[in-house]
């Protein structure tokens, strides 16, 4: 008993307070990890989608996916 006649946290609820506190920190850690993963995927996704239309067109021409005539036609449409 404390000075006011109550038991304070020395009673039966002290263990529940520690469990709730631990669950809070675990949940916060999980949220932070998920946020980092989401940001990482977003940054990587932007990096892989980079490149102008002309660069993509040049790559397709070099790979042989389009002919020179198609390349010139598409290049004129882009500009």
Backbone angles phi, psi at 47, to 5 degrees: -70, -35
Same domain for 55 and 43: no
Whether residue 8 is found in the same domain as residue 29: yes
> Can you give the pLDDT at residue 44?
80
Question: Do 73 and 42 belong together in one domain?
Answer: no
**CA 46/CA 58 separation, integer angstroms:** 20
- Residues 61 and 74 occupy one common structural domain: yes
Asked which of 10-14, 57-61, 74-78 is least confident by mean pLDDT, the reply is 10-14
Task: Kindly state whether residues 1 and 37 are assigned to the same domain.
Answer: yes
pLDDT tens digits for 17-53?
A: 888 999 999 999 999 999 999 999 888 876 666 568 8
Question: How many structural domains comprise the chain?
Answer: 2
Q: State which residues form the domain around 71.
A: 51-79
- 10 Å CB burial of residue 58 (0-12, 13-18, 19+) is middle
25: phi then psi, degrees, rounded to nearest 5: -70, -35
- The answer to whether residues 32 and 67 belong to one domain is no
């Amino acid at each position: 008993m404390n000075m006011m006649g109550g038991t304070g946290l020395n009673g039966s609820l002290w263990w529940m307070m520690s469990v709730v506190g631990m669950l809070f920190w675990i949940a916060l850690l999980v949220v932070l990890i998920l946020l980092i993963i989401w940001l990482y995927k977003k940054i990587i996704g932007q990096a892989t989608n980079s490149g102008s239309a002309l660069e993509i067109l040049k790559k397709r021409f070099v790979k042989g996916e389009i002919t020179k005539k198609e390349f010139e036609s598409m290049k004129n449409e882009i500009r």
